[in-house]
Amino acid sequence: MPHRIEEGLVKIAQGLQDEQRWKKDPRLFPENVAQHTLKLLVIVQLVKMMVRKYDSEIEFDGEILSDLATIHDFGEAADDFGDIQEPYKTEEDERLEKVKFQEMVVFLPIDFQGKLLSLYDIQKGSSIESRLFRASELFVRLYYCLREIDAGNVLFYKPLWTEYKKIQPFLEEFKGLKIMFEPIQEFLADLH
């Protein structure tokens, strides 16, 4: 059994490393899913610190946020699936990604599979952890779009403004995120 678990973990890690994100759009800074996951982990750490400092009355489980950042794209490591082609997921993309996630964790002990599947489902919920995780993902996408735009890639204006609209409710809800967003807001003001 340990050999099978090790093979499965290596397959996930290699799949995340091999899979490029958003393949459809020309990009100046291509990124694989493993790089995205690492960036998300860093942003999650910053989100946790900012919310604890500026929204101290809000209780949340920071470990869940870190765990979500680590596992959320395991389904994209599947050989026959990969990352979505564009910055936006459809309902069908979401459904398929969950199926592939389930396939990728099947090598783990059954109780651990259940824990990972429960954790995976949290990202779509309404808990504090769900909302902070989605905000973290939006920050990562915004930073990526800004980097592309700053280097001259005008194809990322549309996803930038789409993500900008999506993050607004989180900025209203969490003071720490609003403060974290200020440098982005300044950059956006310069774009006008």
pLDDT tens, position by position, 32-75: 888 999 999 999 999 999 999 999 999 999 999 999 999 998 88
Asked if 125 and 21 touch (Cβ cutoff 8 Å), the reply is no
Query: Using CA atoms, how far apart are residues 138 and 144, in angstroms rounded to an integer?
Result: 10
Distance CA 107, CA 88 (A): 29
* SS3 per-residue string spanning 143-183: HHHHHHHHCCCHHHHHHHHHHHHHHHHHHHHCHHHHHHHHH
Cβ(99)–Cβ(120) under 8 Å? no
Question: What does the alpha-carbon distance between residue 189 and residue 187 come to, in Å, rounded to a whole number?
Answer: 5
d(Cα 11, Cα 38) in Å, to the nearest integer?
17
Residue 133: how many other CB atoms lie within 10 Å: 26
Fold of 2-191: Hypothetical protein af1432 (1.10.3210)
N-terminal to C-terminal alpha carbon distance within the chain: 58
Q: What is the pTM of this model?
A: 0.89
CA of 138: how far to CAs of 105, 107, 113, 115, 134, in Å?
A: 26, 31, 27, 25, 6
142 vs 23, which has greater pLDDT? 142
Domain boundaries, the chain: 2-191
DSSP output for 22-48: STTS--SS--BHHHHHHHHHHHHHHHH
In the three-class reduction of DSSP (H, G, I as helix; E, B as strand; rest coil), residue 8 is classed as helix
> pLDDT digit string (tens) for 100-139?
888 888 888 888 888 889 999 998 899 999 999 999 999 9
Mean pLDDT of 154-168: 93
